[in-house]
Amino acid sequence: MKRLAVILAAGQGKRMKSKLYKVLHPVCGKPMVGHVSDTIRQVGVSRSIAVVGHGAEAVKAYLGDAAEYVLQSEQLGTGHAVKMAKELLAQENGTTIVICGDTPLVTAETLESLIRLHEERGAAATILTAHLDQPHGYGRVIRDASGSVAKIVEQKDCSPEEDRVQEINTGTYCFDNAKLFSALDRITNQNAQQEYYLTDVVGIMRGDGDNIEAYMTNDPAESIGVNDRVALSEAERLMRERIVRRHMLNGVTVIDPSSTYIGSDVVIGSDTVLYPGTVLSGGTQIAEDCKIGPNAELTDTIVHSGAEIKYSVLSEAEVGENTSVGPYAYLRPGAKLGNDVKIGDFVEVKNATIDDHSKVSHLSYIGDARVGKHVNIGCGAITVNYDGYNKSITEIEDHAFVGSNVNLIAPVKIGQGAYVVAGSTITKDVPDNDMAIARPRQENKTGYADKLRARAKAKKDRLNG
C-alpha cells in the first residue's frame, strides 16, 4: 500500500522567543524538521507534503526536494493545516502519516509499528499515544468500555474526569487517505480555541462506523513536541543519550557519555574510544580503532583507522591512518593528512595536504601547501601564503627538512631532499638536495654589552637627579 506523509511545519513558535522559526531549531546538530523528514523517509513514504507558513522560504530552503509544499497563510488549527494538502493528496489511495515538524524524537521503528497496526486492522485512523505520569498540556485519548478509541479531547476542552486520563495523543497519526480528506470537509471550529482540530476527524470517522486504533509507544520521550527552549533542551538531552547509547551498542567505547556530544549523522567504527569532552558533528566519519579526545571537536571531518586526536579542533578535514593530531592543533577546511603523520601542539593546517610519515611537531602554520612524504617541518615554521591580495601555494617535496623559524614566502618550491636552515626566509625555489640559508651573517661586538649597560645606568642617574 502506498505511504504518504503530511509534515505540519507552519507554526511560528512564539514561545521559542527566537528569530529562527521553530522547526528549524537544531537538536543534536540537525533542525527538528530534518529529523522528522529523515524518519518518514526511512519508512518508505513515496510523497511527503510539508505544510509551511511562518518562515516558509527558510523551511523550503532547508528541506529542498525532500518534500512538496503547501502554504497555510493563516494558522487556524491542525485540521485546517492538513486540509491545505487536499489538492495534492485527495486523489491518492493509501496510508497517510500526519506528523508535526517539532517532534524530532519519533523513531522510524515506532512509525513502522504504527503503520503496520493501522494496515493490519484496516483502521480509518490510528493514533500514536503515550502514557505520561504528568499529562497536563496534552490531548487525552478517551476509550470506550471495549477499549476502542472513542475520541481525543484537547487539554482546554477536558472535563475533570477526562483530565485525569494519562494516555495522551502524541500528535502523530496514520489515516486512510480517502477517509481523512472526507472527514476534514466536515470538521468545525466549535471549541474553546475556535480552531479546526485534526483530532475531531476521529469522532467523525467513529460516527461513520469506522475502526479507530491506537498504538502506544514504549518510549514516552517520543511524545515530546518542542514549543520552548526548555523542551528543546530536553529533546537535545534525550536524543544525545539515544545516539551515544546506539554507538556504544555498536562497539564504540564512550568513557563519559554525559560529557560526549555526537551529532545524529556521525558514523563511528567499532573499538574507537571517545574520551570526555568530545564533540562530533555534521557528517563526521570516524573509522575503527581510533582515539578521540579528550576535548576534541570534529565537524564534517573524516578520520581513518588508528588515528589519535586530542585537545584539538578539526573542521572539514581528513586524517589518515595511524596519524596523531594534537594537543591543541587546529585543522581547518581542506586540511588532508596522510598516514602516520604527526601534527603536534599549536599547529594550524589549512587547505594543505601533508603526505605519509611527515611531521609538523609544534608551533607552525601550514596553509595552502602541498607537503610530501617523510618531510620534517621544524618549530615555528610558516608558509607565508597571503600577500594581501592573493593566496599562493607552497610545495615541499619528499624527504625535505625545514628548520625552525623558517618563513617560506609563497609561491615557492622546496625540492626533494632539500634542507632549509633554521631562521631562513626563503623567497626562491630550492632545488633537490640543495641546502638553503637566507639570514644575515652573525657579528659579535666584543664588550659592547657592558657599554650598553653603562649608558643605561648613566641615563637613569640623570633622570633621578
CATH number for position 26: 3.90.550.10
Does 273 lie in the same domain as 125?
A: no
Phi/psi of residue 280, nearest 5 degrees = -120, 125
> Residue 275's CB: how many other CB atoms inside 10 A?
20
Strands (E), 276-364: 279-281, 285-286, 291-292, 297-299, 302-303, 308-309, 313-315, 318-319, 324-325, 330-331, 336-337, 342-345, 348-354, 359-362
Q: Is 75 annotated as a binding residue?
A: no
pLDDT given for residue 148 in this prediction? 81
Write down the pLDDT at residue 156: 84
List CB contacts of 144: < 8 A, sequence separation 6 or more: 150
pTM (global) more than 0.85: yes
Q: Same domain, yes or no, for 186 and 269?
A: no
Non-local CB neighbours of 225 within 8 Å, separated by 6+ positions: 100, 102, 103, 170, 171, 231
How much is the pLDDT for 465?
A: 72
Q: Tell me, yes or no, whether 411 lies in a domain.
A: yes
In a domain, 443, yes or no: no
Residues 265 and 343 in one domain: yes
**30 shares a domain with 94:** yes
CA distance 448 to 94: 95
* CATH classification at residue 431: 2.160.10.10
- Do 288 and 356 lie in a common domain? yes
Whether 43 and 155 share a structural domain: yes
- 297's CB contacts (< 8 A; 6+ apart) are 278, 279, 281, 312, 313, 314
Has 404 been labeled as part of a binding site? yes
Residues 161 and 272 in one domain: no
Q: Which residues of the chain have pLDDT under 70?
A: none
Shared domain check, 428 and 378 = yes
User: Does the annotation count 247 as an active-site position?
Assistant: no
Establish if 241 belongs to a structural domain. Answer: no
Domain shared by 170 and 286, yes or no: no
Same domain? For 219 and 253 the reply is: no
Which string of b and e fits 383-421 if b means at least 16 CB within 10 Å?
Answer: bbbeeeeeeebbbbbbbbbbbbbbbbbbebbbbeebbbb
End-to-end CA distance of the chain: 102
DSSP line for 359-406: EEEES-EEEEEEE-TT-EE-TT-EEE-B-SS-B--EEE-TT-EE-TT-
What the block records as the C-alpha cell of 312 is 584539538
Task: Identify whether 427 is part of a domain.
Answer: yes
Asked if residue 333 has a cis previous peptide bond (ω within 30° of 0), the answer is: no
Residue 46 contacts residue 138 (beta carbons within 8 Å): no
User: Could you tell me if 209 and 272 lie in one domain?
Assistant: no
Specify if 356 maps to a domain: yes
Cell 479531547, located at residue: 153
**How confident is the model over 144-165, as pLDDT tens digits?**
888 788 888 888 888 999 999 9
> Computed from CA positions of residues 454, 458, 461, 463, in that sequence, does the dihedral angle turn out positive or negative?
negative
Give me the catalytic one of 54, 118, 362, 399: 362
* Residue 73 counted as domain residue: yes
* Domains: count for the chain: 2
**Is 92 within any annotated ligand binding site?**
no
Compute CA 215 distance to the chain's CA centroid, rounded to the nearest angstrom.
30
Residue 102 marked in a binding site: yes
91 and 127 both lie in a single domain: yes
Is 192 annotated as contributing to ligand binding? no
CB 416 within 8 A of CB 400: yes
What is the domain range of residue 383?
A: 249-436
DSSP for 393-455? Answer: -EEE-TT-EE-TT-EEESSEEEPTT-EE-TT-EE-S-B-TT-EE--SPPP---TTHHHHHHHH
Do the domain assignments include residue 229?
Answer: no
Q: Tell me the three cell numbers of residue 284.
A: 563526521
Count of beta carbons in the 10 Å neighbourhood of residue 342: 17
Q: Is 207 labeled as ligand-binding?
A: no
Which pLDDT score, from 0 to 100, does residue 372 have?
Answer: 98
3-state helix, strand, coil in the chain (%, to 5): 25, 30, 45
In a domain, 236, yes or no: no
